[in-house]
Amino acid sequence: MKTKNLENFNMIKNESAEERWEKKSVLKSKTVYDCEKMRSAKFFGVGTFDYSDERTMPGKSPMSIAISANTDIQDIRPRPSSNFSIAFENENWSEYNRLSVWVYPESIGFQNFYFHISVWNEAGQALAHAPSLIPNVWNHVFFEMPGFSRDKITKVSMGPLMMGCPPEAEPEVRFFFSDVQIEAVEPDYELGWDLQDRIAYCHSGYGKNQEKIAITGVSRSGQFALLNESGKEVFASNCQKINNDYGKFFSLDFSSFNLEGKYRLKTDDRLTPLFEISGFPFKNAILQSLKFLKSLRCGCEVQGVHSPCHLTHHTIHPLDGRLISDHGGWHDAGDVSQYEICTAEMVHALVDLWGKVRSRDKQLADLVLDEAKWGANWLLKTHFGDGFRSLAVLYSIWTSNQIKSAETLKPETENSLKSVAENGPFENFLASAALSAVSKAFVDSDPVFSKWCLRISKADFGFGYDGYEKGIFTKRWGKGPVAQVSGSLVLAASQLYELTNEQAYLEKAIKFADEIIACQQADYPNWKKPLRGFFYEDPTHQTLLTFEHRGHEQSPVHALAKLCQLAPDHAKAG
């Protein structure tokens, strides 16, 4: 399957943070490694390392570092890298706050490369950046480090991760590095609301009849104006001074202006990019999100990204050796893996979004539901039928889509072409909730698909409930917080009750809603600024429900809201 409609979405690069960083004035700079042999670099990883004048950055050093590697690494895990490091003897970089290097990836058939660059100090602390590089051009790789201790720098390391070789590419690649510099730039403010002279506005736009406010840190004139696309002033007012716990600001309030169109804000000589005022200003943000999801699709061609991928990857059942092909869904990120938790929550979010936009914009709603179905099909195909699922699918690399020998398929053979299924209640509840939402969405347009989703949703809920009662959890993620897991149970049960009208689902939802409520701070605590309504991990109220990296803060609230919607007359609903 080939993804479609990607060309209809417009991603505006010149409004990105990366573009803004690139345009910053460099106040001063210092070459710390000119890629000649003034300081020996140490190579580690796969491939070969040398100094070369074959390809150099115009206007920079006459020499480059060259790394050559073969990317045909289908059965190597963890993914190898081709890195070099430069040692520094506790150098003081305090006067500089940005690291910069130019990199040229030379290849045939690759669309991009996953790259890592890190800086280290004497305390053993490291700061890393992981951009994607475009092949066959010089890429400017840079990142700011204002909050990083830079008075005793000991090492800089960089290089690509060897992500395998897709069938459209040739395996031999080369990377050229030029001119490693440290630079001083005006840093972005990392913490708080120090806007300086920038205007903070809603990039997705403003609702026609809703509040419309932007803020800035500087307005010498104390006035602002709203300009239409042609630059004509259509509204003007005074800036309102704000002084609160967050700082001192100027508020640009144009809430009384309700004419639909595209506009810019201006104060002094500063202009924002165009933004929209309309009855549905978030449409473009939704389209951009869909474009991003389509670019992450696995198992099909994504134009400009990859050919059909991971077609031979599979998940194996640890108890009986059954195999399931697990391509499909969406890659997690640059490491091209996939996690059932993320896919299930994304499918559910897309269906919820479809429910909000279908009466407003049918074409947009169809695009949203099509993407939800893509993810739902992965949830359906990776269900073993006994509680086990493909949960952590570590594709890890691009492959040739060939199984090189029958040995690869044996359960005892470790390689990058298969993952091992697990049985996790939280994961089964998430799949159940997502598939029941999909079932409801397709009940009229595709009744066969709808019934399939409902059947698997009911099965997943049963496996999840049984596993939760028995205390089962996955090896990878461990036992989840009560508020999180009970939230997923209540949501799945509530949705199944809505679809089937079976009282048993409602009874289970009500029972475990009590567990969620027991985790919540119901009374005002004796704090300087008291707050209630938040959740702890469990009824002991010892640990706040917080998440690092991947979050599920919505789980208890989403569940309780859905249950109250379905049982508004219950004694505890109020």
SS3 445: coil
Report whether pLDDT(134) > 80: yes
CATH code for position 256: 2.60.40.10
Domain stop point among 151, 184, 217: 184
What global pTM score does this model have? 0.90
The structural domain count of the chain equals 2
DSSP letters spanning 378-391: HHHHTB-SSSEE--
- Establish if 272 belongs to a structural domain: yes
Q: For residue 511, is pLDDT > 80?
A: yes
30 assigned to some structural domain:
yes
| 215 and 248 assigned to the same domain | yes
140 and 47 share one domain: yes
pLDDT score recorded for residue 523? 95
Average pLDDT, the chain: 91
pLDDT band with cut points at 50, 70 and 90 for residue 15: low
- For residues 96-102, give the mean pLDDT: 96
Any domain includes 293 = no
Any domain includes 162: yes
**Lowest mean per-residue pLDDT among 4-13, 251-260, 279-288, 490-499:** 4-13
Q: Are residues 158 and 224 in the same domain?
A: no
- Identify whether residues 44 and 173 lie together within a single domain: yes
Whether residues 31 and 179 fall in one domain: yes
Q: What pLDDT band is residue 8 in, cutting at 50, 70 and 90?
A: very low
N- to C-terminal Cα separation, the chain = 49
DSSP helix/strand/coil, 563:
helix
Q: Looking at the domain assignment, is residue 519 inside a domain?
A: no
What pLDDT band is residue 74 in, cutting at 50, 70 and 90? Answer: low
Same domain flag for 210 and 168:
no
Q: Are residues 93 and 163 in the same domain?
A: yes
What is the model's pLDDT at position 77?
66
Using a pLDDT cut of 70, give the percent of the chain over it: 95
Going from the C-alpha of 100 to that of each of 88, 92, 150, the distances in angstroms are: 16, 16, 15
Q: Among 184, 214, 230, give the residue marking a domain's end.
A: 184
pLDDT at residue number 39: 65
| 158/271 same-domain check | no
Last residue of a domain, one of 278, 300, 330: 278
The whole-number pLDDT of residue 2 equals 39
Q: How many whole angstroms separate alpha carbon 461 and alpha carbon 498? A: 14
- State the Cα–Cα distance between residues 419 and 394, nearest whole angstrom: 6
Where residue 328 falls among pLDDT bands split at 50, 70, 90? very high
Containing domain of residue 31, as a range?
A: 25-184
- Quote the pLDDT of residue 130: 92
Tokens representing 136 are 């066959």
Q: How confident is the model at residue 10 (pLDDT cuts 50, 70, 90)?
A: very low
Asked whether residue 38 carries a pLDDT value surpassing 80, the answer given is no
- What is the CATH classification number for the domain harbouring 170? 2.60.120.260
- Domain assignment present for residue 237? The answer is yes
Residue 193 domain-assigned? no
Say whether both 125 and 231 belong to one domain.
Answer: no
> Quick check: is 345 in a domain?
no
- Are both 127 and 263 inside the same structural domain? no
Judgement on whether residues 218 and 178 belong to the same structural domain of the protein: no
User: Do both 32 and 157 map to the same domain?
Assistant: yes
pLDDT digits (tens, 9 = 90+) for 441-474: 999 999 999 999 999 999 999 999 999 999 999 9
